Amino acid sequence: MLDYIISQIENMSQAARETYGVDPIIFLTIYIISVPIFYYSLFRTLRAIAKKLGGETMLWSTLFLCATVAPFLYVLLFGRNIPWWVYIIITIVAGQGVFSFIRRLSKKPEKESNILIK
């Protein structure tokens, strides 16, 4: 059973390489490498916002957005013969990431009196 699953994954990977020019292993590698960068830059961005460090906020938010779109940028740059709906999905995923990030940045923190229980 396991051999069958592995052979199916290999066949699908080979088909993606031949048809679209995108290597799924490279995509997954970029995606996995981007995850810690994504979370660390999110943490640093929120910390910079809390401390009101404007320059640092821009640096870390830019790094956050780059980590978000890096794997999809690989598909856009190196993929060929990609169906039109894949571009729509990539745009939606990237747009949703940007939208949620902007919404999180614009959220006002609660007053300290509401947070502390006396």
pLDDT tens-digit series, residues 66-106: 888 899 889 888 988 888 898 898 888 878 877 877 777 77
pLDDT(2) > 60: yes
Return the residue matching tokens 């060929």. 80
Cα–Cα distance measured from residue 9 to residue 15, given in angstroms and rounded to the nearest whole number? 10
pTM of the model: 0.69
The torsion angles phi and psi of 11, rounded to 5 degrees, stand at -65, -45
Please state the rounded mean pLDDT for residues 16-20. 90
Secondary structure class of 80 (helix, strand, coil): coil
pLDDT(117) > 70: no
> What is the DSSP annotation of the chain?
-HHHHHHHHHHHHHHHHHHHS--HHHHHHHHHHHHHHHHHHHHHHHHHHHTT-HHHHHHHHHHHHHHHHHHHHHHHHH--S--HHHHHHHHHHHHHHHHHHHHHHHPPPPPHHHHS--
Tokens representing residue 71 in the block: 């794997």
- Parse the chain into domains and list their residue ranges: 2-115
Question: Could you tell me the pLDDT band of residue 115, with boundaries at 50, 70 and 90?
Answer: very low
Question: Could you tell me the pLDDT band of residue 111, with boundaries at 50, 70 and 90?
Answer: low
Cα–Cα distance measured from residue 29 to residue 33, given in angstroms and rounded to the nearest whole number? 6
Return the pLDDT at 103.
79
